[in-house]
Amino acid sequence: MNLNAFWFVLVGVLLTGYAVLDGFDLGTGPLLLCTRSDHERRVFLNAIGPIWNGNGVWLVTGGGALFAAFPQVVATVMSGFYDLFMLLLVALIFRAAAIEFRSQRPGTGWRTTWDVAFAISSILSAFLLGVAVGNIIWGIPLDSAREYEGSFLTLLHPYALFTGLTTVVLFIMHANVYLVLKTDGPLREKLMRWTTVTVPAYLACFVAFNALTLFGCPHIVAAFRERPLDPERTFHRRAGGDVQHRARDLEKTARARFREFLRGAGAASASVRYRRLSEPGLLDPEPCP
């Protein structure tokens, strides 16, 4: 694995970690609107309270790794997705503020207002992340200097919008399963009933998303045809060549080290022999009595 592949895998792991660990965090927001009980909403927020703030570190680290390894990609993406990322940043900030301000006053109207704000900002954050991913899969128009040619509305094509919708549904399903694990009693039973809606909804979006990708993104299909996912054949083809090259390199290295060993042993033997012969009495020994 070369350095480019290493950084590509690292950035992928960091962004995947953000999607996995912050997915249920973002999906909890819409679920607040599915219950009217302030106690249940407080339980939902307490379930994500200890970890919601730290989950954003994955996104920051992934962006930093992307900038360090592929600065040209960051330049193109930031120029093309500037408006989208600014909206995402505002949604994430407003979402954090909603959690903090919710408990500042005991009034029902006050808390309901910030709960709605938290839900809207969570939905918007998840949707914009999905739109960004959808545009990366679909492809964005670039000029010869790799500068983005288009506007914010160019990013809002049907495929990207459906990817954003699929992302929202995915995160809601993820949050539903997470809350089932974190609650008990009647609330847990209620959340279990919700899974009969959220899980099939995500599966339907997942199947539709893959169908749209299959028929709407020919470059993705062409890439799979050129590089089929056949682990056995790929392993034998690539690993076989790697093994041969490594065997040759090891053989050359072994021969070189063996020659160095012989030279060093010969030099050491000659040095010891010279020292022994140079000791007094060895060249002109005294005659035996």
Q: What confidence score (pLDDT) does residue 271 get? A: 53
Q: What is the pLDDT of residues 253-264, one digit of tens each?
A: 655 655 555 565
Indicate if the pLDDT at residue 282 is higher than 60: no
Q: Cα separations (Å) of 189 from 34, 183, 196? A: 14, 9, 12
CA-CA distance, 157 to 142, in Å (whole number)?
16
Indicate if the pLDDT at residue 239 is higher than 70: no
Q: Which range, of 36-50, 110-124, 190-204, averages the lowest pLDDT?
A: 36-50
Percent of the chain with pLDDT over 90: 32
Indicate if the pLDDT at residue 223 is higher than 90: no
Tell me, what amino acid is at 68? A
Indicate if the pLDDT at residue 196 is higher than 90: yes
Q: Which residues contact 179 (CB under 8 A, 6 or more apart)?
A: 24, 28, 31, 44, 47, 191
Tell me, what amino acid is at 156? L
Confidence of residue 225 (pLDDT cuts 50, 70, 90): confident
Indicate if the pLDDT at residue 190 is higher than 70: yes
Select the highest-mean-pLDDT range: 94-108, 189-203, 214-228.
189-203
More confident call, 26 vs 234: 26
Q: What is the pLDDT of residues 59-90, one digit of tens each?
A: 888 888 888 888 888 888 888 888 999 999 99
Q: What confidence score (pLDDT) does residue 266 get? A: 54
Confidence of residue 272 (pLDDT cuts 50, 70, 90): very low
In this prediction, residues 186-196 reach a mean pLDDT of 93
Query: Which of 173, 143, 182, 158 is closest to 44 using CA atoms?
Result: 182
Q: What confidence score (pLDDT) does residue 159 get? A: 94
